Amino acid sequence: MALTLDPEDTRGRIHDLVWSGFHPDADVEWMITDEYLDPDELSAEDRAWVKAEAARACAAKRAAEAGWPVQTEYDRLEAVFAQLRGEKIIALHRAGNTLADGHDDVREQWRAAGRLDSGIRGCCFYHSQDLDTAVRTGRLHLAFSGGMIPEIEQREANTVVVGHRIVELLRAAGFGAQWSGNINERIEADLGQWRKRGPSA
């Protein structure tokens, strides 16, 4: 019986999930069969194909990881994010699926930290669609802002400061970083490639 799924499209999604480095190998198969695809429409052949492709992709990544440097691009990016957090800037990896989701995640952290009393100066994040692009191209778009203060002019001025600081730290970490200076445009970080070891590595 022929496959009912689209092999090329599904293989691409498996690749993105595996090589993102955020998901345990054991989760990839069900993330495809139960979330990415419609489980009610999958045949036994579809499920067997997904199982084999997921196992193949996971094995290929594990083999590649053996030759990676101790500090990967993700590790260097996390060091940048850690520095930002130390400077009272919320920095989140894989914050939701869209910009709106990411800003919701930031607001949640801001509220949990004590709102204005927290002293938080701003935020920086990327979402899961940005991650997919980074896995494929090595380029990562970062959203940012200058905090939750109500004064618009001050918030916009803070956003400029935060944007320049993010660019400065990215470049200090050895990444290319481009930003127009427009607070309505995101920062593009050239990571070279995306390498993050999986959670079970």
Spatial separation of the C-alpha atoms in residues 18 and 31, rounded to whole Å:
11
Confidence of residue 2 (pLDDT cuts 50, 70, 90): confident
Q: Span 10-39, mean pLDDT?
A: 96
Q: Span 71-96, mean pLDDT?
A: 98
Helix (H) or strand (E) segment spanning residue 125: strand 122-125
Better pLDDT: 200 or 191: 191
What local confidence, expressed as pLDDT, does residue 72 receive?
98
pLDDT over 90, % of the chain: 93
DSSP string, 33-82: IIIIS-GGG--HHHHHHHHHHHHHHHHHHHHHHTTS-SS-HHHHHHHHHH
Mean model confidence pLDDT for the chain = 96
Helix (H) or strand (E) segment spanning residue 187: strand 187-190
Q: Span 93-113, mean pLDDT?
A: 97
Q: Where are the domains of the chain?
A: 7-65, 73-190
pTM of the predicted protein model: 0.93
What local confidence, expressed as pLDDT, does residue 1 receive?
60
Tokens of 63: 């083999």
Buried b (16+ CB within 10 A) or exposed e, 20-52: bbbeebeebbebbbeebbeeeebeeebbebbee
Residue 201 has pLDDT above 50, yes or no: no
Q: Span 166-174, mean pLDDT?
A: 99
pLDDT over 70, % of the chain: 99
Residue 200 has pLDDT above 70, yes or no: no
